[in-house]
C-alpha cells in the first residue's frame, strides 16, 4: 500500500511533536488528585506543587484571605502597551473571567496550602491577533503568600494555542491535549511577561540582584484593593481625587500602625522574658546570700546548709 505524501507529512508532525515539550499527556492523565484544587480542562487548572526554591524560606500558609479583596487587587493590575503607530492602550493583566477564577481558587487553595507548597495554575484567555480577530491563549504561573503579600510569578503569558498541531493530533477536537507549561521560578526570570505594571498603591514588581523582575508581582492585597476601589470611585466622581489620596494615605498609615503594634508586642514579650530571667537570677542570689549569713552566724548546721543550697540551685 502506498503512503501518500500528505499522510507521511502528518505522521512526521505527530511523531516529532508527540515527543516535544509542546504536549505532555502525563500532565492530564497522571496527576495525583490530592494536589488538584480545581481542573476544568487539560489546560485549565489550579493545583498544589512543592516550592520551586526552599532557600527563600517557607510560605505563610495556610492563610485565609478575603476573596473580594483579591478580586479588587488583581483588577488593579494594568500595563500600557504601545502599538506600531505609537498609540498607547491601557491593558488589564488579567481579564474579568481570569480575575474571578484566580480569586476563587487562590482563596480556596491558600486556606489549605502547606508552608512548603505553592499553587500553580493555567488559565485560558484571548488576545488580539489582528484588529478584530481574537486567538485563544494560555497564561500559566505560580502563586504563594509570604511576608504579608500575594506573590504571582508568570511563567507564560498569553501563549497562543498551537492550532495546527491540535488539528493533526486531535482531529475530532475532543479537547484532551495537555500542553507542557512553564510555571515560573523564584530562581530565574521568565521573559514571557515583558511589561511594567502601571503605578498603583500596593503593587510592585520584584527586584532581584538590583534588577526588576517583570514576571514577578508582589501584591499587598488590602492596599491594592483600597487603591482600585478609590480609583473606580474617582472615575465616577472626578471630585473625589483628594478623598482618594486621603483614603490611600489612611490605608498606608493603618498598615504602619498594625506593623508597629506587632513590633511593640514582640519587644514587650522579649523584655518580659529578660525581666523574668533577671528576677529569677536575683532571687536565687539573694537566697544563697541569706543562707551563707545563717551559716556564718551558726544558726544552721553545715548539713542543713548543704541540703538547702542544693534545693535553691535545683530551682534554676
Q: Output the nine-digit C-alpha cell for 151.
A: 506573590
Mean pLDDT of the chain: 81
For cell 548539713, the residue is: 303
Range scoring the smallest mean pLDDT among 26-35, 159-168, 173-182, 281-290: 26-35
Look up residue 109 and give its three cell numbers: 487553595
CA atoms within 13 A on the CB side of 260: 6
> Looking at residues 47-68, what average pLDDT do you find?
94
On the question of pLDDT at 161 being above 80, the answer is yes
Cβ(231)–Cβ(105) under 8 Å? no
Distance of alpha carbon 199 from alpha carbon 77, whole angstroms = 9
Per-residue model confidence as pLDDT tens digits over 270-307: 666 655 555 555 577 788 888 888 888 888 888 888 88
Query: How much is the pLDDT for 281?
Result: 54
Q: Is the pLDDT of residue 171 over 90?
A: no
Amino acid at each position: 500500500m502506498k503512503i501518500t505524501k500528505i499522510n507521511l507529512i502528518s505522521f512526521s508532525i505527530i511523531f516529532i511533536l508527540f515527543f516535544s515539550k509542546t504536549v505532555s499527556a502525563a500532565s492530564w492523565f497522571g496527576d495525583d488528585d490530592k494536589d488538584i484544587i480545581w481542573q476544568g480542562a487539560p489546560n485549565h487548572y489550579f493545583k498544589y506543587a512543592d516550592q520551586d526554591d526552599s532557600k527563600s524560606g517557607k510560605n505563610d500558609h495556610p492563610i485565609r484571605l478575603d476573596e473580594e479583596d483579591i478580586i479588587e487587587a488583581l483588577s488593579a493590575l494594568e500595563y500600557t502597551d504601545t502599538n506600531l503607530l505609537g498609540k498607547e492602550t491601557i491593558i488589564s493583566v488579567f481579564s474579568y473571567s481570569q480575575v474571578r477564577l484566580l480569586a476563587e481558587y487562590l482563596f480556596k487553595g491558600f486556606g489549605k496550602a502547606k508552608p512548603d507548597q505553592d499553587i500553580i495554575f493555567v488559565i485560558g484567555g484571548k488576545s488580539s491577533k489582528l484588529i478584530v480577530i481574537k486567538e485563544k491563549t494560555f497564561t500559566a504561573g505560580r502563586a504563594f503568600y509570604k511576608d504579608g503579600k500575594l506573590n504571582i510569578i508568570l511563567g507564560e503569558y498569553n501563549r497562543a494555542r498551537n492550532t495546527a498541531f491540535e488539528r493533526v493530533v486531535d482531529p475530532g477536537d475532543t479537547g484532551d491535549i495537555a500542553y507542557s507549561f512553564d510555571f515560573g521560578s523564584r530562581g530565574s526570570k521568565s521573559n514571557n511577561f515583558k511589561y511594567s505594571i502601571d503605578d498603583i498603591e500596593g503593587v510592585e514588581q520584584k527586584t532581584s540582584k538590583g534588577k526588576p523582575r517583570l514576571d514577578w508581582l508582589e501584591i499587598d492585597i488590602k492596599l491594592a484593593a483600597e487603591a482600585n476601589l478609590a480609583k473606580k470611585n474617582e472615575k465616577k466622581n472626578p471630585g473625589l481625587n483628594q478623598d482618594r489620596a486621603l483614603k490611600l494615605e489612611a490605608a498606608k498609615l493603618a498598615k504602619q500602625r498594625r506593623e508597629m503594634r506587632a513590633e511593640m508586642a514582640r519587644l514587650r514579650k522579649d523584655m518580659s522574658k529578660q525581666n523574668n530571667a533577671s528576677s529569677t537570677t536575683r532571687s536565687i542570689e539573694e537566697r544563697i546570700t541569706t543562707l551563707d549569713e545563717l551559716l556564718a552566724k551558726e544558726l544552721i548546721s553545715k548539713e542543713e546548709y548543704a541540703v538547702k543550697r542544693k534545693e535553691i540551685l535545683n530551682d534554676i
